[in-house]
Amino acid sequence: MNEQKRRPSGAEEPLGPIEVKVERENINRAISQLKRMMAREGVLKEVKNRRFHEKPSEKDKRKRRDAERRRRKEVRKVERPM
């Protein structure tokens, strides 16, 4: 699998293209890989957010809500007994 550059959170600079190699004419697997990579990079979420104009106050509220969701998820990970 290709090594992808990770951007720091909050960075707005674009990265290079997302590439997937098709091996042995297995196009379905390549499409699945591409979908996973796009989800991991947040491409689909960004397209959805840019579909309509978002007021700065709404953007701040969304960012706070997302940060709180990430904090709760991290707490669940730490508290989970193994």
Give the whole-angstrom CA distance, residue 13 versus residue 21. 25
| 44 shares a domain with 4 | yes
Domain containing 69: what range?
Answer: 54-82
- What pTM was estimated for this model as a whole? 0.50
| 24 shares a domain with 9 | yes
pLDDT digits (tens, 9 = 90+) for 16-59: 788 888 888 889 999 999 999 888 888 888 888 889 999 999 99
| 31 shares a domain with 69 | no
Which of 23-27, 62-66, 71-75 shows the lowest per-residue confidence on average (mean pLDDT)? 23-27
| 64 shares a domain with 75 | yes
**Taking 50 as the threshold, does the pLDDT of residue 1 lie above it?**
no
Domain count for the chain, please give it: 2
| 61 shares a domain with 31 | no
**Which position has the token pair 């720091």?**
8
**Taking 80 as the threshold, does the pLDDT of residue 11 lie above it?**
no
For residue 41, give every residue at least 6 positions away whose Cβ sits within 8 Å of its Cβ, in sequence order, or none: 4, 15, 18
Give the whole-angstrom CA distance, residue 28 versus residue 24. 11
| 1 shares a domain with 13 | yes
Query: How many Å from the N-terminal Cα to the C-terminal Cα in the chain?
Result: 30
pLDDT of residue 82: 67
